[in-house]
Amino acid sequence: MRRSSWLREMPLPGHGVGPKVLEDLEGLEIEMVSEQVDLQLKVDENGLQLGVDVTFSFRNHAQQDVTMEVCYPIGPRNNVQGFECETEGEVHTTSIRTEQLNISPKGSFAVNVPIYFYDWTATFPAGQVAMHKVRYTLRLAGAQRTGYTVSTGGPWKGRISKSVITLSGSPEAWAYVRGFGPLGGAAERGGRIVWRYSDYDPTPDHDIWINYTTITLQQQVQSLTKGDIKWAEQCIACNLLAAAHYTTGRLSLDAQQHRDLRQALARLVSQAEEKDGTWSLPATERRLVAPAPE
């Protein structure tokens, strides 16, 4: 493979330790055996945050030690606090850098996007497994999507034997979440969402994403349903309530959330009007009941 910057091959946003420069992937004898990812949503006086704590297990299949530059991309925004990394207990000295990535959105001119990343030098002992740890906190503001990009583990040798990603949070923090995924492979475990991947080649389909807002679900629904509200706003409120399970860190609605949704839907249906044998909803002319045959 041609010499290439690893950053230019990565999806956005990017996470995961990777070789900084790929000179010859066929000759790379270092395997990412496993990764344990703990994502924790939390709220403090500065707003919503995501704590990230990752443990990587690497095996060097070569007969000699390999010392190389590695990097950890954090995407187009430098919203990281307290970045730390270590190998087998040895804390690394890291540098934060940027590289310009040229992208061409559909229908737009090409633009340069700065990609931030941390880099450091790590040694992988010959024939051994070494544990690498990374931890930091993301400040979640402005951009309303975050997560963990599993697919950036692709450049290492072979397939990844096991990845376990856990998403947890306080009730106060979950209230800002509007969705997460992928739902395939996700399971509830003791108040947490857990993804488990085994013996796989990581692709963007495995990437963990979290959508969030700057107000809680309760605040957003209340803003849509107070005073003289429009039909469209009531529909938006119903859509929010239909996905309320995300705001409690669950994969499905609980009993109270079902009741809240049914009540909101009942208020919508109660506004249907009959005219000339046809039932219509406000401002939609969406037919609920077909007219009786003549």
pLDDT for 109: 67
DSSP string spanning 26-62?
GG--EEEEEEEEEEEEEEETTEEEEEEEEEEEEEE-S
Whether 172 has a pLDDT exceeding 90, the answer reads: yes
* pLDDT number for residue 285: 44
92, with CB counted inside 10 A (0-12, 13-18, 19+), is middle
Q: List, in order of start, the domains of the chain with CATH numbers.
A: 4-212 (2.60.40.3680), 216-294 (no CATH)
DSSP 8-state code for residue 126: T
Taking CA 76 as the corner, what is the angle to CA 145 and CA 84, rounded to the nearest 5 degrees?
90
The whole-chain average pLDDT of the chain stands at 85
Beta carbons of 70 and 17 less than 8 angstroms apart: yes
Q: Identify the CA nearest to 163 among candidates 173, 153, 155.
A: 153
pLDDT value of residue 176: 95
Cα 93–Cα 59–Cα 61 angle in degrees, nearest 5: 120
Q: Please, which pLDDT band fits residue 294 given cuts at 50, 70 and 90?
A: very low
Give the C-alpha distances (Å, rounded to integers) separating 39 from 51, 169, 250.
Answer: 6, 8, 15
Q: What is the pLDDT of residues 92-130, one digit of tens each?
A: 999 898 888 776 666 666 777 788 889 999 999 999 999
Per-residue pLDDT at 196: 96
Summarised one tens digit per residue, pLDDT across range 224-237 is 877 666 778 888 89
Confidence of residue 82 (pLDDT cuts 50, 70, 90): very high
Report whether pLDDT(144) > 60. yes
Listing DSSP states for 61-91 in one string gives -SSS-EEEEEEEEEESS--EEEEEEEETTEE
What is the average pLDDT across 44-64?
93
- Residue 4 has a pLDDT of 41
Res 233: pLDDT = 84
Q: State the pLDDT confidence band at 287, using cuts at 50, 70 and 90.
A: very low
